[in-house]
Structure 1
């Protein structure tokens, strides 16, 4: 059928039409992150959603995409340390007190990572209590600053954006309006918006802890507005004995213009880093 043909055409393109994520299988399934799209990344705590969005932002900026990160939970310094850790493969715990814990080799890696990050078209906004108006203004400014580049706006995370006072007390309407405005911003400015989202606790009470669309908090509107919804799931978080150690499933639960399905990535916890999974390599190592 035409639908199947279309889906296959999406997967088999060698060239990305959108912004590269840094992950081969994810690029294949999405053809890259598309301008004009609202992408929601949802996960329960400790699944690595901030690490994931920072990794994607770094890869995008490395591919000459102008990238703005709104970090509403974490200060700029903490966020940059995370980025240095994943870029330079430096144990994040060492960066808590680098003067005492880092050796000469580490310092070399740190300065190299800092150099790489410094050269990127990347801006970090770490103001807490940010409003949609402020996000819109900054995104427009970024677009003006880099007129020839694609633009990616990452928001960590959706539920921390300040809503319109008229909705005070009605959380569902408040979040619904923020999600609607993010989608409008993506369309109007022709930028790609990636917003992280919390998921409801309902996940924890199920036998299978893989998130579902119904787990999106205040979900109806978000689900409707999003062009792509991805969930992060780590089996080893719930089952220490699993064979799937350090493997994160990126579950594409909704994709307006492409297939749904699962992409597996390896998660290197000490570097807060996701990498392409090479099964053969992993099995050889274990053997």
Structure 2
């Protein structure tokens, strides 16, 4: 259960904060009279939800005793409060017995718990409001209204998301209904797709699509094409959504998705250039340089017109914090009727944490990877995050990545539901091209070059997607085609 800092009676406030101290006392008395009620309530509340600090400490003591399977009564609680200064002000340990005096709370204990929580939320809203006003009025430091708005949204979301443990508990009937719906979706789409499509049949067959609430890590060394593959997948999902909507398929049954793409490295126009190059089949380099014919420009204009309604939203703000990323995804969800179905982050190491890790980069990456997994679960969408690999790959003869090659790998590997590596052997083979021969050495070098050319022909234009971790199925690899001129990955027909 998320924890929030709720103001309580000890704090000095200019106005009376929302509270019901009598309901707190009645509920605690009922919990001590009937420990079965205590077992039901202890997971709904936290000590900071109580306005009266003593009541919060009594609640915490009851929770501790019940956690140890011990009776929680005024008698068993007495030793824990004999030195408590707060309870002395209320009449000493006899106050514990007085809580059970009337037994009036037995009937409405659960309703009291709900009211106590709701009032605590209202106090938090008051606190958030005060801090918003204080920050907005303070011009002694750098004025950054957008950052203040994002911070306020994050605080408000924490209040809204902390709905008590009962909100996260589902009956088996609810869970099994969701599982059956997922299986039905997979059956309807040919038996190999229960999540959001990647647009590549070979990858869909391996992973079953990108599943809601999953964190997927796509990693590779520079030059392998990880941004290209992520862009291809994101575009395919958005294009499929657009086509399904045009065909009258209900959003719940579509295997496409509206996409939120957070590009911390490339600008929005660079990403758009890649997508247009892929769709118009014009070299992205030629597009950037303007070296295209009139006919090619017409192809480009046609592709742009066809894609103008593509549900693909790009945020190219640099230096985002993990909290800001959450805020921006939630904002997009509100604007688009909660239909954002895929979030892509390029790339993980360019996000920043809360700054509370004392400069420890490993701790910061741990916070970021946990934050991305939390985002996937809270928003119930797949999150595809790109990641760098360490240089250890370059020192091995076999350049195929392994899980241990992930930079700051421990937390990333642990938090991810799937880890993919993209690997192109032709990239490394091209670097091994024999140098020009010295005089008298032509024959040997010619033979070496012929072997190299044969190797290059064998691997050119091929890529591997290595599924190194998958919670839902087997690991393995998928062979893909890659066209570097238009940065496009596609299914490979055969060997």
Q: CA deviation at 1:278?
A: 1.4
Structure 2 counterparts to residues 63-102 of structure 1, below 5 A: 63-64=240-241, 65-98=257-290, 101-102=291-292
Give the aligned partner of residue 284 of structure 1. Answer: none
Query: Any conservation in 1 of the 2:192–2:205 contact (CA below 8 Å)?
Result: no
Greater CA drift, 48-57 or 233-242:
233-242
Query: Any conservation in 2 of the 1:19–1:150 contact (CA below 8 Å)?
Result: no
Query: Any conservation in 1 of the 2:462–2:482 contact (CA below 8 Å)?
Result: yes
Query: Any conservation in 2 of the 1:35–1:150 contact (CA below 8 Å)?
Result: no
Query: Any conservation in 1 of the 2:323–2:354 contact (CA below 8 Å)?
Result: no
Structure 2 counterparts to residues 265-284 of structure 1, below 5 A: 265-279=480-494
Give the aligned partner of residue 221 of structure 1. Answer: 411
Gaps of 5+ in 1: 1-8, 281-287
Query: Any conservation in 2 of the 1:13–1:28 contact (CA below 8 Å)?
Result: no
Output the CA distance in 2 between the equivalents of 1:89 and 1:267. 13
Q: Helix, strand or coil: the match of 2:366?
A: helix
Query: Any conservation in 1 of the 2:273–2:287 contact (CA below 8 Å)?
Result: yes
Give the aligned partner of residue 246 of structure 1. Answer: 461
Give the aligned partner of residue 471 of structure 2. Answer: 256
Among 123, 146, 150, which residue is 2:336 paired with?
Answer: 146
Q: CA deviation at 1:192?
A: 0.8
TM-score by length of 2: 0.53
Structure 2 counterparts to residues 185-224 of structure 1, below 5 A: 185-224=375-414
Q: CA deviation at 1:120?
A: 1.1
Give the aligned partner of residue 371 of structure 2. Answer: 181
CA 1:46/1:168 → structure 2, altered by over 3 Å: closer, same or farther? farther
Output the CA distance in 2 between the equivalents of 1:68 and 1:166. 28
Output the CA distance in 2 between the equivalents of 1:132 and 1:266. 34
Greater relative CO, 1 or 2 (CA 8 Å, sep 6+): 1
Q: CA deviation at 1:15?
A: 5.1
Output the CA distance in 2 between the equivalents of 1:67 and 1:105. 31
1:22-62 Cα distance to aligned partner (Å, 9 max, x none): 11110011111011000000000000011010000000101
Output the CA distance in 2 between the equivalents of 1:40 and 1:255. 11
1:183-208 Cα distance to aligned partner (Å, 9 max, x none): 01100110110000000000011111
Output the CA distance in 2 between the equivalents of 1:124 and 1:117. 14
Query: Any conservation in 2 of the 1:66–1:142 contact (CA below 8 Å)?
Result: no
Among 49, 56, 62, which residue is 2:233 paired with?
Answer: 56
Q: CA deviation at 1:141?
A: 2.1
Give the aligned partner of residue 21 of structure 1. Answer: 198
Q: CA deviation at 1:146?
A: 3.2
Output the CA distance in 2 between the equivalents of 1:53 and 1:112. 24
Gaps of 5+ in 2: 1-182, 242-256, 431-451
Query: Any conservation in 2 of the 1:236–1:244 contact (CA below 8 Å)?
Result: yes
- Following TM superposition, the consecutive aligned residue runs of length 4 or more in structure 1 with deviations greater than 4 angstroms are 9-13
Greater CA drift, 60-69 or 236-245:
236-245
Q: CA deviation at 1:94?
A: 1.1
Query: Any conservation in 2 of the 1:13–1:31 contact (CA below 8 Å)?
Result: no
1:109-161 Cα distance to aligned partner (Å, 9 max, x none): 21122123321111000011111122111211222233363510001000000
Greater CA drift, 237-246 or 78-87:
237-246
Q: Which has the higher helix share?
A: 2
Structure 2 counterparts to residues 27-42 of structure 1, below 5 A: 27-42=204-219
Q: CA deviation at 1:13?
A: 5.5
Output the CA distance in 2 between the equivalents of 1:41 and 1:135. 18
CA 1:164/1:189 → structure 2, altered by over 3 Å: closer, same or farther? same
Give the aligned partner of residue 113 of structure 1. Answer: 303
